[in-house]
Chain A
Amino acid sequence: MYKEAFLAALTVFICYGGNWLFGQTMIERPLVVGCIAGLIFGDMRAGIIMGASLEAIFMGAVDIGGALSAEPVTATVLATTFSIVLNVNEKAALALAVPIGVLAAFISMFMKNVVMNLFAPLVDKYAEENSPKKMAFIHYLMWFINYFVFSLITFFSVLEGAKPVQALVNSIPDNLMAGLSATGGLLPAVGFAILMRMLWSKQLAPYFFLGFILVAYLELPSVAVAALGIILVLVTSFKDKQLLDMENKQKELEQRPAVAGPSNSDATKEEQEEEDFFS
């Protein structure tokens, strides 16, 4: 088991740490992690398929401003490891991935927001010492510590967890299993709520429901929804731009002293009418 545990830990470090070291290039998403984990454990096809299922589950799991709803890397690596190496039934592995992801998200938030606070005074200190070198050092050190912790967690989870997990999976009653699977279906809601929190406004809220209906009832693929959305946004933006230009012009005219000739006031009137028409 040592070899498998090491390989799983290595996958976590490469995908998770690598993702944040190389500009959030999405190598931490289950689609990619599943493929890499599968490759390492000698069954890439199984890993890719597993990754596809997990990507759908963790779709709403996004790390925004340190508010993470579920951590997909550890979850995907452990689920794939259990499924390929321990021959745990694929559905059970998927169901297990969800609580693992949530637990890992807790750890991640604890690390990033609490443990890493210890380094905050050092950041101030090195700035005061005017030392870009030390700043770079602490930057990379924090990176290493954070993702090394996740690798360690993965290592021990595979090493110590393999047997209990096997036993656990065999002993989970059907209805609990159904509940765990349902978690995977409901979990993305939290991620989407985090995203909505940033974009929501009363005027724009209808678009959220429009998107929902386009898929729930019309069953459009996401590419079609995106294309429709871009058209919609272009149309409304052109109109907004037109209104804005008028407003700006009007402001300009108002600011101008009243000595201007009669032709000018005509123009204002005309625009006023035009604007009334549009609003």
Chain B
Amino acid sequence: MKLTENMSKEDRKMLNGIFWRSFTVFASRAGATKAHAPGFIYSITPALKRYYKDDPEGRREAMMRHTTWYNITQNVGTFVMGLVASMEKKNSEEKDFDAESIVALKTSLMGPLSGIGDSIFWGVIRVIAAGVGISLATQGSILGPILFLLIYNIPSILTRYYLTYMGFSLGSTFIEKIYANGSMKILNKAASTLGLLMIGSMTASMVKFESKLSVPIAGGKPILIQTYLDQLFKGLVPLGITLLCYWLLSKKVNVNWILLGVLVLAIILGLLGVV
């Protein structure tokens, strides 16, 4: 690819270093306030070491400013790592460069990039991979897990690699441009659309509820409640419960309580003989 050819040998060495280290970015999680900051610093260390070679004070400041909260879908986050590398380079060269802008830009990109990354990789590619994998694995074929891993990881690792280079070479001007002219909005909308569509389809196929409740009728066949529910709207209960969970989450209810609630609900329904 053109992107990787126009780089100097040192650039490529540094970016490959970031690429490989980025695999471990989520290995640690330093609590709720820093999240994956240590992994981020570890990943961009090749850049820090290179650009602040003769400036220990500069490197110290750089490390300190990156101890703030970091979390981006990891194979998309390499874009920000490349971008940060290019900005740290500028910072080390220009005296009046605003170092705070590095963190500001990094932070502002977390939301949009994670949105795109999560919907494409978690929402779409993983679902397709698992769909193919499950259908083969139910027959006991080892191809199930193997294809699952290949379908997910090939696009994922390629994205991780090329985004590292893109972040570095396109730099912050590119980000400003696509933000300003609105392309970012379109990209975000496209990813969210695709993600929501797939989540809707997963809700229909993966969330399951079947009632065995029946109303006996004197002298006739008992009426199965499930038949009525299906006639009303297929998958009404799964859809309702998913939307309820979403509503609770948007009301800032802790996810643990929602989980417990679902667990208790299902067990009560079981004890009552509804399911």
Residues of A at under 8 Å CB distance from B? 20-27, 29, 31-32, 34-35, 44-46, 48-49, 51-53, 55-56, 59-60, 62, 64-70, 98-99, 102, 105-106, 109, 112-114, 116-120, 123-124, 126-130, 132, 135-136, 138-143, 146, 175-190, 192-201, 204-205, 207-217, 220-223, 225-226, 228-230, 232-233, 236-237, 240-241, 244, 247-248
Contact = CB atoms under 8 A, between A and B. Distances in A.
Interface of B: 22-35, 37-39, 41-42, 45, 48-49, 56, 59-60, 63-64, 66-67, 71, 74-75, 114-115, 118-119, 122-124, 126-134, 137-138, 140-142, 144-145, 148-149, 152-153, 156-157, 160, 181-183, 185-186, 189-210, 234-235, 238-239, 241-242, 245-246, 248-250, 255-256, 258-260, 262-263, 265-273, 275
A62 B56 CA distance: 40
Given A55-B130, A199-B115, A23 B207 contact: no
A146 B64 CA distance: 24
Nearest to B245: A193
Contacts, number: 398
Nearest to A135: B41
A186 to B, nearest CB: 5
B41 A127 contact: yes
Contacts of A217: 234
B212 to A, nearest CB: 8
B26 A138 contact: no
Given A112-B29, A230-B194, 13 more contacts: A24-B75, A26-B126, A31-B134, A31-B137, A106-B256, A132-B63, A142-B29, A185-B209, A193-B242, A195-B123, A214-B200, A214-B201, A216-B234
23 contacts: A24-B74, A26-B153, A31-B137, A35-B142, A52-B144, A123-B30, A129-B60, A136-B45, A178-B273, A181-B270, A182-B269, A183-B267, A186-B209, A188-B203, A190-B245, A199-B118, A199-B192, A200-B250, A204-B193, A213-B204, A222-B205, A225-B198, A232-B197
A118 B149 CA distance: 35
Given A175-B273, A197-B250, A185 B207 contact: yes
B127 A60 contact: no
B130 A199 contact: no
A139 B74 contact: no
B75 to A, nearest CB: 7
Nearest to A224: B201
B148 A200 contact: no
B270 A179 contact: yes
B138 A52 contact: yes
